[in-house]
Amino acid sequence: MTGLSYRTTDPATGEVLETFATATDAEIEAALTGAHAAYATWRDVPMAERAAIVRRAGELFGERKDELAAIARSEMGKLPAQGVEEAEFCQAIFEYFATEGPSLAADQPIKTFEGGTAVVQRRPIGVLLGIMPWNFPYYQIARFAAPNLMLGNTVLLKHAESVPRSALAVERLLRDAGVPEGAYTNVFATHEQIETIIADPRVQGVSLTGSERAGSVVAALAGKNLKKCVLELGGSDPMVVLDTDDLDAVVGDAWDFRVFNAGQTCNANKRMIVHADLYDDFVARITERAAAMEPGSYAPLSSRRAAEDLDAQVRDAVSKGATLHAGGVLGEAPTAFYSPAVLTGVTRDMRAYHEELFGPVAVVYKAESDDEALSLANDTQYGLGGSVFARDEARATAMAQRLEVGMANVNSIAGEGAEIPFGGVKRSGFGRELGPLGMDEFVNKRLFYVAD
């Protein structure tokens, strides 16, 4: 099957800059054959040698950060400074796994009561498929590829159709770092070809970051074919503010994180739950920040469709009684601009209550008590991250311990770093990336026993 579904479209203008043909079935078969052949040798390369290549890849992310940022801006609208920051984070991720990988993958002795010596080994399992989204076109690849290349697995990478230049830039970077032919291969695959890849006996696992719909399809295919999968499917993270000595600082952090990457961050603070004592001041101050966002000071969303979908969610809420305090203006077609907004009065009969708002919209809720705040925080189908802010750390900790999430934070919106595991529960998916847990997903935790 051929076509031109992979394309670079500048969301700031709507102009199609470049198109790419999807892979032929013969090219997919060649990629599978190459990845399987590469695994046979890559897995036996000493880990110290693999680490040197992974570390070099990180260095290249740093050296090419301006180029990578420019590509991301042209494809999904990311502000240049944020594109540079993303490339630098990739550098840190590759460096972390190059440095810590040998110890994270070391044999783990276990106590035996039968005599002999027993250890759990962490061995590679083979070819893996990564299906990655457009919102962080480099970071999403890095957190999947770095630990698995360190382990000795090989990677087929299917990126979002809207960021083909980013996909090719990473493939070229890894090749320049010394990753051997076949050990990392970009594929411009169709949906039908993805199904073929997952079903192929040479492929041992699949990792997807994306929508619930895509996650359910991939999980079903993985289950049908008895393949391990990791899913990160987004979230509607609560940020609970109980009290504070510095409301301006909390509001500033809340707003900056909510509109970072044009609000297109999976673990952004999409639901701000504020104690009644602070609520009016919080709304007033965050509205001031939204009103100050002039055209030209914020990035477009990733596509015109994304902007229109977000606008429909907000308009649904307003039509049912919610208050739009600032922003919420959809730019003229074919651009993808949407002015950062503040929304209150959202109730259960509105789409905005249940759905993820993947764009720069801060939804603020009032809570009369700690119990009401916790109830609101957990009243969601998602469970990626969440945070609680309070002067009394013990009070905040007690609530954060009860958040139904994969990442709970106290007096910080999100703990982030190459060493910090990332992932969720409920409909936010399962499995973890980054940190020690990021090297523990696609491995054969093999028992190795030697009798006395």
Is the domain of 295 the same as that of 197? Answer: no
Does some domain include residue 413?
A: yes
State the CATH number of the domain containing residue 305: 3.40.309.10
206 forms beta bridges with: 129, 229
Query: How many CA atoms lie less than 13 Å away from 125 in the CB half-sphere?
Result: 21
Quickly list H helices, 292-431. Answer: 304-319, 351-354, 370-378, 393-400
| Residue tagged 């032929």 (tokens) | 24
Is residue 266 part of the annotated active site? The answer reads: yes
Q: In a 3-state reduction of DSSP, which class is residue 318?
A: helix
Q: What are the beta bridge partners of residue 387?
A: 239, 409
DSSP annotation of 125: -
For residue 30, the domain's CATH number is 3.40.605.10
Backbone φ, ψ for residue 361 (5° rounding):
-125, 120
Q: Is residue 187 part of a domain?
A: yes
Residue pLDDT, tens place only, 88-127: 999 999 999 999 999 999 999 999 888 999 999 999 999 9
| CB contact at 8 A, 245 and 256 | no
369: tokens are: 């008590």
Which among 232, 133, 237 is positioned nearest to 437, based on CA atoms? 232
Residue 219 forms part of a structural domain: yes
In this structure, what DSSP letter does residue 1 have?
A: -
Q: Do 223 and 243 belong to one domain?
A: no
The whole-number pLDDT of residue 4 equals 54
CA dist 385 and 237 (Å) reads: 5
Question: The tokens of 321 are what?
Answer: 């009684």
Q: According to the model, what pLDDT value does residue 113 have? A: 87
In terms of domains, do 63 and 147 share one?
A: yes
Q: Indicate if 334 and 213 belong to the same structural domain.
A: no
DSSP state letter for 345: -
Which residue type does 428 have? S
Residue 229, number of CB atoms within 10 A of its CB? 25
Q: Helix crossing, 164-177 with 47-63: angle to 10°?
A: 130
Indicate whether 435 and 400 sit together in one domain: no
Same domain, 374 and 408: yes
Query: 1 in a domain, yes or no?
Result: no
The tokens 């209150």 sit on which residue? 344
Helix, strand or coil, per DSSP, at residue 267: coil
**First-last CA distance in the chain:** 58
Select which of 75, 232, 433, 441 is catalytic: 232
Per DSSP (E only), the strands in 153-312 are 154-158, 184-186, 203-209, 228-232, 238-241, 271-275
Q: Is residue 98 part of a domain?
A: yes
* The one catalytic residue among 266, 356, 433, 441: 266
Domain-located, residue 436: yes
In a domain, 422, yes or no: no
Full residue range of the structural domain in which residue 68 is found: 7-233+428-450
Sheet containing 228-232: give its strands across: 184-186, 154-158, 127-131, 203-209, 228-232, 429-430
Mean pLDDT for each 10-residue chunk of the chain (452 residues)?
Answer: 76 97 97 98 98 98 98 98 98 98 96 92 98 98 98 98 98 98 98 97 98 95 97 96 98 98 98 98 98 94 98 98 98 97 98 98 98 98 98 98 98 96 97 97 97 92
What pLDDT is recorded for position 3?
Answer: 46
| Shared-domain flag, residues 208 and 258 | no
For residue 407, the cross-strand partners are: 385
Q: Residue 346: enclosing H or E segment and its boundaries? A: none
Question: How many domains does the structure of the chain reveal?
Answer: 2
Number of residues in the chain: 452
Q: Which long-range contacts (CB under 8 A, 24 or more apart) does 198-203 make?
A: 198/129, 198/222, 198/225, 198/227, 199/224, 199/225, 200/32, 202/32, 202/35, 202/36, 202/126, 202/127, 203/32, 203/126, 203/127, 203/128, 203/129, 203/156, 203/227
In a domain, 295, yes or no: yes
Residues 198 and 246 in one domain: no
Tell me what the pLDDT averaged over the chain comes to: 97
Q: Mapped to the 3 state alphabet, what secondary structure does 135-183 carry?
A: CCCCHHHHHHHHHHHHHCCEEEEECCCCCHHHHHHHHHHHHHHCCCCCC
3-state DSSP of 17-82: EEEECCCCHHHHHHHHHHHHHHHHHHCCCCHHHHHHHHHHHHHHHHHCHHHHHHHHHHHHCCCHHH
Could you read off the pLDDT of 335-385 as tens digits, one per residue?
999 999 999 999 999 999 999 999 999 999 999 999 999 999 999 999 999
Say if residue 177 is in the same domain as residue 216: yes
Residues 227 and 274 in one domain: no
CA nearest neighbour of 180 among 149, 210, 209: 149
Pick from 184, 230, 245, 158: nearest CA to 53: 184
Tell me if residue 332 is catalytic: no
CA 94/CA 54 separation, integer angstroms = 6
Are both 258 and 330 inside the same structural domain?
A: yes
Looking at the structure, tell me whether residues 199 and 249 fall in a common domain: no
What is the number of other CB atoms lying within 10 angstroms of the CB of residue 444? 13
